[in-house]
Chains A and B, each alone.
Chain A
């Protein structure tokens, strides 16, 4: 009896720890977005050390670049702890593999970050770095979902395919992910903004359809309804942030330094994009119940 109680307590703290990793990863994505928006990516020309030191003077744009590296280091340590914890807890084999995959992703991400610095922001590496950040965020969301104390494995479908949000949720997730690749391509190369702008309407349409289907046929699942509403609201906000980012980066003249409004719109558009992807990933998993 005491053992069962202990297991429940440990599972609760494991879940809380996974939520901490989700939050830290979103903060890391925001920090990375600020590095790009402030054009601080090459403020520290060496890697893995910074000006040959573990901790350089945090002046000018070094604050943003080295700050990003420190948060990244913290996220890597959190991922390592979570992965080892999951192995020790004797969770399902597929969950253990997912945890190792997340750890592999964060290590690869660190190496890509180093390559972007050493090779002075080659577009292909920078785009890959940006997309892997979003992918890793989805890993953390999935781990947190599966570690929830009330997690119920997927059941055979009980509703008709017309009512199930399963397929629509997957399509929405895929569209958002593709949209993020387009966004990263614009941000890290001279790629045209037109496909990203056009594809936004497709994403918006699918998010709307998904939200309607969930509200109509799955009203009893309060968490799913909340996630659908959150996804819808975030997508609307994301469109406005995208317009702001477009105006400031493509239409307005600027001096040597990006103005604060440009930094706000571009960094928040990128970070909310990650949050939208994470929410759609969570809905995909929840819809399989």
Chain B
């Protein structure tokens, strides 16, 4: 009975949205001289070092070759107040592979399961440092090991680190809604199925900080919103 009630509630909340929806797309431009890439020395753990044939660089300020910025978390900050959204049952995955986090920046909804994998033949500790939910530090000494965690409150951003391998860092944007994206290797992002309305969009980058812009999504559909970070 309870299940039917919640399913009905979720259905109503989804149906309460206008049927027309558009995509918000854009590019994160980088203005200035890109910082010199910092090479990661993995020799402290031979398993990590042997996992890479090419040099590995920190992802703190990854500027793409087309002078765009990777790993920018883009999300709707304002404009969705009073609306409720279904929590996805499918887990978001954070993998520890080659002694690096994959993905480096990602989004997840409140109470959506986060599955943390260890694909490496070495031990990691996954140290989640949320401020709104309880901090955790879990040992993952076995290859193939999986752990699941949830975040109970929205938070921009939750930091993850491996204290064994200090070059490992990841960030999660925890939101009450599904309207977020992360810029890719060409600096592009896309937030799909955004209902018509006025929104404040925030761009978050771990080194270059945050900036916001307002945008209107009309019935006409898709909208483009670029932004620029100064180096």
User: Chain A: residues with CB nearer than 8 A to chain B?
Assistant: 38-46, 51-52, 56-57, 59-63, 120, 255-258
Contact = CB atoms under 8 A, between A and B. Distances in A.
B163 A257 contact: no
A42 B44 contact: no
Contact of A59 (B44, B58, B161): B44
B167 interface: yes
Contacts of B123: 51, 56-57, 59, 62
Contacts of B38: 255
Contacts of B141: 51-52, 56
Interface stretch (B109-117, B132-140, B184-192, B196-204): B132-140
B125 A42 contact: yes
A59 B46 contact: yes
Contacts of A120: 127, 135, 137
B164 interface: yes
Given A43-B125, A56-B123, A59-B44, A256 B60 contact: yes
Given A42-B163, A51-B139, A57 B122 contact: yes
A61 B58 contact: no
22 contacts: A38-B166, A39-B163, A42-B127, A44-B125, A44-B139, A51-B141, A52-B141, A56-B123, A59-B47, A60-B44, A60-B165, A60-B166, A61-B44, A61-B164, A120-B127, A120-B135, A255-B38, A255-B60, A256-B58, A256-B166, A256-B167, A258-B166
A120 B38 CA distance: 29
B139 A46 contact: yes
Given A44-B125, A45-B127, 19 more contacts: A39-B163, A42-B163, A45-B138, A46-B139, A56-B123, A57-B123, A59-B44, A59-B45, A59-B164, A61-B44, A61-B165, A63-B44, A120-B127, A120-B137, A255-B58, A256-B161, A256-B167, A257-B166, A258-B166
Contacts of B46: 59
Contact of A41 (B48, B138, B163): B163
Interface in B157-187: 161, 163-169
A39 B164 CA distance: 9
Contacts of A56: 123, 141
A45 B135 CA distance: 12
Interface residues of B, number: 25
Nearest to B164: A60
Interface centre among A38, A52, A62 (most CB of B within 10 A): A62
Given A120-B135, A255-B60, A256-B58, A59 B122 contact: yes
Contacts of B122: 57, 59
Interface string B23-60: 00000000000000010000011111000000000101
Contacts of B167: 256-257
A42 B167 CA distance: 14
A256 B169 contact: yes
A94 B131 CA distance: 49
B169 A61 contact: no
Nearest to A38: B166
A40 B139 contact: no
A45 B139 contact: yes
Interface centre among B137, B141, B167 (most CB of A within 10 A): B137
Nearest to A62: B164
A59 B48 CA distance: 10
Nearest to A46: B139
Contacts of B165: 60-61
Nearest to B124: A60
A61 to B, nearest CB: 5
Contacts of B47: 59
Nearest to A253: B207
B163 A40 contact: yes
A54 to B, nearest CB: 14
A61 B166 CA distance: 8
A42 B166 CA distance: 11
Interface centre among A45, A52, A258 (most CB of B within 10 A): A45
Nearest to A50: B139
